[in-house]
Each structure stands twice: as C-alpha cells, then as structure tokens.
Structure 1
Amino acid sequence: MGSRTILSSGTKTEQVFGYSRAVRAGDFIFVSGTTAMGPDGPVGEADIVAQSAECLRRIEEALAHFGAGLNTVVRTRVFVTDIDQWRRVGEAHSARFAEILPTTTIVGISALFDPRLLVEIEADAVLTTG
C-alpha cells in the first residue's frame, strides 16, 4: 500500500478513542465518521440536512489535506438516528455527489455520542484509477 500518513483534528474524542480524522495509505484515503459537532453544539442545530451538509464539508476539507477532492470519493457510509429522514439526508448527499455517484450505505442507528447529533458520514477515496 505504500506510505501511511495521518490527519488529526486534535479533538479530545480522537485522543480518548485513539483514532485519526483521516488516513492516507498509498492511493487510498479513509475519512473517519464525521459529524457536525462544533464547540457549542451541532452546526445546523436540529436540521438534519444542514448537519449532513456540514459533515460533507468537513470530509471535503480532510480530503483536501491530502490533495484530493470529493471527486475521488468511491464510497460513503451514512448513519442516521432517524431512518425516516433518509430522503432529507439524501438531498445533501446528492447535492455534492450527483455527478460523482460513489457507492453508499445508509443505516438507521439508535444514537450518536451526543443526542443532538442526527447524522454521521464517513468516506473512502482513491487518488488514482487503474
């Protein structure tokens, strides 16, 4: 796989849990589950579309650290606390990925680490194609 480079956002959660914000291994980039949590609560407050958009913005920012963009994403995984909101989350996802069309999974879960969080998204990207 070649070299391995990590990106840390320096959050307490990373330190407690022992993980990286993103890892580049060779031509592959793996972005950890991303929420909209800010210092004062979720960006977008109780709006699942706004939270989803913020998750995707942060994923794009992590990819940019490695010289990549959303156009390199080949897979996303979406976790929502209310599966009935899947279409609304899909709106935010489609707004960023309608032309890219990565594979994706959406899963309903009982909760995230803060009850105000409604969605978490992770992404895998490939820098070259063969």
Structure 2
Amino acid sequence: MAAEQVESWGVPWEQAFGYVQAVRHGDTIHVAGQFSHDGEGLVAPAPVDEHGRVTDFGTMEEQMRTTYANTAKLLARFGATMEDVVEEVVHVLDMDSAFAAAGPVRRTAFATGTPQVATTILVTPRLAQPGQLVEISCTARLSA
C-alpha cells in the first residue's frame, strides 16, 4: 500500500539520513521521532563535555515541550491533533529528569489530566544531536 500523504520539515538531516517525518496510510499517521528543533538546529541543547556526554539534564522540560509542539504542528498538516494520538514512544537520555518533566508537559501537550495515549518510555545511551535529551515518535488515528 502506497502512502497517501507524506510530510517533512525540509531540514538537512532528513536528506542526509533519507527519511520523511510522517506518513499517512488510510486513517493512520505514523510520525517519526521528533525532537526539540526550530528547523535550523536543536532548541535548548543540554551542555556536553569534551566527549559529547551530557553534563546537565536541566533543559529536559523545555526540550520535551518543544518536541510535543513540533509533533502537534506536523499532525496539523494531516488535519490531526494531539487528541488523535493513540500511541507514543519517548526516548530519553535520563529517566529521572524525564519523569520530573513529563507529567506537566504531557498534560499540557494533550490538554488533559490523564492523556489517553499508550505510552512507552525508554532510556537510550545517545540520540541524534549533541545535547539532545528526548525524542518522541507516535501513531495517530484520524476520526471518520
């Protein structure tokens, strides 16, 4: 089945890696891992040491907030909202800072006290951009 619609940001890393940001098949939208960027680079990068390791996770909340905002903008291109998200996977570098930020940020992003989203959160040793703390992929279903 061919994709009915694909969307990208037009950022250099899409061409370099070779992918699109989201694909719609029927009533389902698959959104690739989103992160905190403004189209030019990372927003609120965490400080890193000379080896590229993060030294402070204090920007987790801002990165997470921007990541969800980017996801919402991308979903809007398909006529969808965060309310249409049925599943998400959250990749983080540090679980403690993610848990501290996730509750308030997710309640705002999904506009509800208890987001009705099947969620998995995983710790990973590294993400694509230096200073990147979080990446979120999701699946949304459009209502008929």
User: Normalised by the size of structure 2, how large is the TM-score?
Assistant: 0.80
Unaligned runs of 5+ in 1: none
Is contact 1:37–1:117 with CA below 8 Å preserved after alignment?
no
Structure 1 moving runs of 4+ over 2 Å: 37-42, 97-100
The superposition leaves residues 50-74 of structure 1 with CA deviations (integer Å, 9 ceiling, x where unpaired) of 1001000000001000111011000
Equivalent residues, number: 129
Residue type of the alignment partner of 2:78? F
Bigger Cα Rg: 2
* 3-state SS in 2 of match to 1:122: strand
Is contact 1:23–1:30 with CA below 8 Å preserved after alignment?
yes
Residue type of the alignment partner of 2:131? R
2:86 is aligned to: 74
User: Normalised by the size of structure 1, how large is the TM-score?
Assistant: 0.88
Deviation at 1:3, TM superposition (A): 5.3
- 1:1-130 equivalences under 5 Å are 4-38=4-38, 41-46=41-46, 47-91=59-103, 92-97=105-110, 98=112, 99-128=114-143
Instruction: Give the distance between the partners of 2:24 and 2:39, measured in 1 at CA.
Output: 27
* 3-state SS in 2 of match to 1:37: coil
Residue type of the alignment partner of 1:106? I
**Sequence identity (%):** 33
Instruction: Give the distance between the partners of 1:44 and 1:84, measured in 2 at CA.
Output: 18
Which has the higher mean CA deviation after the structures are superposed, 10-19 or 104-113? 10-19
Unaligned runs of 5+ in 2: 47-58
Instruction: Give the distance between the partners of 2:13 and 2:78, measured in 1 at CA.
Output: 22
Residue type of the alignment partner of 1:89? A
Residue type of the alignment partner of 1:93? R
